[in-house]
Structure formats: structure tokens, C-alpha cells
A = this chain, B = another copy of it.
Amino acid sequence: MTSPTPTLQAELNVALLQHTAKASTAEFFQFLEHEVAKCAQAGSQLIVLQELHNGPYFCQTEDLSQFDRAEPIPGPSTELLGKLANKHQVVIVGSLFEKRAPGLYHNCAVVLEKDGSLAGTYRKMHIPDDPGFYEKFYFTPGDSDGTYKGFEPISTSVGKLGVLVCWDQWYPEAARLMTLAGADLLIYPTAIGWDLNDDESEQKRQLDAWVTIQRSHAIANNLPVLSCNRSGFEQSPSDNDHNDNTSNRAESGIQFWGNSFVAGQQGELLAQAETNGEQTLLATINLTKTEQTRRIWPYLRDRRIDAYDALTKRYID
């Protein structure tokens, strides 16, 4: 277990950096330096980046050469993120393609403390795989010790961060385990978008579902939720190199749907970004509202832990 956060401040100013893919890591860090400076000047204390922010979303095809993007953690990116965090005295949540060993890679969130040190990492536990999002090819799922590890909050000067990544956001189990392990807030760096072959009503249902499921984690756990998503269209590197027979295939690319948001402890939207374009979303959350909310909506009090054993089953048959 991580040690308790010494002083939980009531109000916390947060920023989410929603942006389109940059052509290179260098170009991204140039953009980031500018945005972090602006956020810090505006009073932000915690800055959340989107999933795999260093470059394009490279999982649209299965391509061996993409593994060259991976880097060790700590490594070059955590060093740059740490310098920025230290320079502007902010906590930064980033998302990197981790090379853990030759041939062993993770989708890894990193948290940099105000002093520039690496406060902790989280390796994405639930790995998706569907046309245009071939993540099971690239990412080994995060380790588990069979209890909750994997799902362990990261202690920082601004609170215990329940950092999860993208596909994790569809799993109430992940949010609950972070909560039980003491998270003060839930954070989702994300890269999700539309297959433009889907019609408008289907696209609307998908976006609504994405906002709703994450707001529900705020509600079920009485915790603020910060979700930072990619925006912009990213062309698929190739339409032909994956033998894919589904009609749902992303033929030409993904339209990342933005809509990064911050929700309070009752799931109420405190701030939400646009669908398109780059936007740095600022919001203030109140971490002490968790205890107030839990006193009158005490879900943790009434959980039927005597009847939940089968949650560790694949299916009851």
C-alpha cells in the first residue's frame, strides 16, 4: 500500500490537454512546453495528457516497425516530463509506449511529481482489440499479483491518483479497485474515436456511452473523474496490411472524438472540451467533497462483499 496523502487540499486546479497527433516527439514536447507554461500561469496544479501523446496512434495496423517507438521507463520522455513538472511546479500525468524488456512492451501511464521525480507508473490492465485498434498486438497487459495490484493509486503531493488508461474506462471493476485502494480521484488518458463508416446515430450512441460510463465511476465511487482524449482525424497507415473481414473495419482511419471532461463526485460535468480541435481544459475539483458525499450516499458501507466472489469468474456456467 502507498502511504496516506499527508494533506488533502480542498480545491485542486486541474488541466487536460486534448490535442491532435504531432508528427514527432520533438514537436509534441515543443507544444507541451508551451501549454504547460500557460496552465501553470493559470494556476493548474495537476496536468493530464492524452493516451500515447508523443505521436500518432500507431495501433491502427499491426506493424513490427512501430515497436521502435517504445522506450524505457524511466527514459527520455519521463526525463522531459519531469523537467517540465519541476520547472512549473505541477504534477503531470503522461502516457507512454514502454519497452520493459526486448520484445515486452506496455501501454504505461507515468506520473511526474512537482520536483521532477517519477512518482509512479500504471501499466494498462485491460487491453482492447478491434478493427483499427490492434492493441493486443502491441501491449502486454499490466501485471497482477492476484489481488488488486495493477490497480494501485499513485501517491503525489496533490492526492492519490487512480490512473487508468482508455479501455479500462469501460470496467467498473477497475474504478472500484482504485477506490478501495484509496484513490482520491480517477484519471483516464484516452485515445478513442469513431469509425467513419458508422452512421451518425451510432456515433452519437458511442460518444454518449463513453461519457456516461466514466461519469458512472464518479458516481459509484464518489470521486472526481478526469478523462483526457485525443482529437482530430488520423489516417490509417495502410488499409490493406491486415486481413480483416469485418464490415466494421476502419477503412481509412479514426476520427478521435475529443470531448475530454472533468466530472465531480456526483458525476456532474464540471468542464467538457469540444469534439474537434485542440483544447486545454481547465477545471477546479474539490477533493474533500468525497467524504461529504459518501456520508449521505454511503455505497462503500453497504457493498455485499460476502456475495461478490463470482466477480472473479469469466462467466457463471
Interface residues of A (CB under 8 A from B): 1, 125-128, 130, 141, 144-151, 167, 170-174, 176-177, 180-182, 205-206, 208-209, 212-213, 215-216, 219-220, 248, 266-268, 296-300, 302-317
Which one of A177, A312, A314 has the greatest number of beta carbons of chain B within 10 Å?
Answer: A312
Contact assessment for A125 and B307 in the assembled complex, using a CB-CB cutoff below 8 Å: yes
Contacting residues, chain B, for A297 (C-beta < 8 A): 170
User: Which residue of B150, B206, B220, B310 is within 8 Å of A304 (Cβ)?
Assistant: B150
13 cross-chain CB contacts under 8 A: A1-B316, A126-B303, A148-B309, A172-B176, A173-B308, A180-B316, A181-B316, A208-B266, A209-B219, A209-B267, A213-B267, A308-B312, A311-B312
Contacting residues, chain B, for A170 (C-beta < 8 A): 219-220, 297, 299
User: Which residue of B150, B205, B268, B304 is within 8 Å of A208 (Cβ)?
Assistant: B268
Contacting residues, chain B, for A180 (C-beta < 8 A): 310-311, 313-316
**Closest 4 A-B residue pairs measured CB to CB?**
A216-B216, A172-B172, A144-B307, A148-B310
Q: How far is the CA of A167 from the CA of B302 in the complex (A)?
A: 9
Q: How far is the CA of A88 from the CA of B196 in the complex (A)?
A: 46
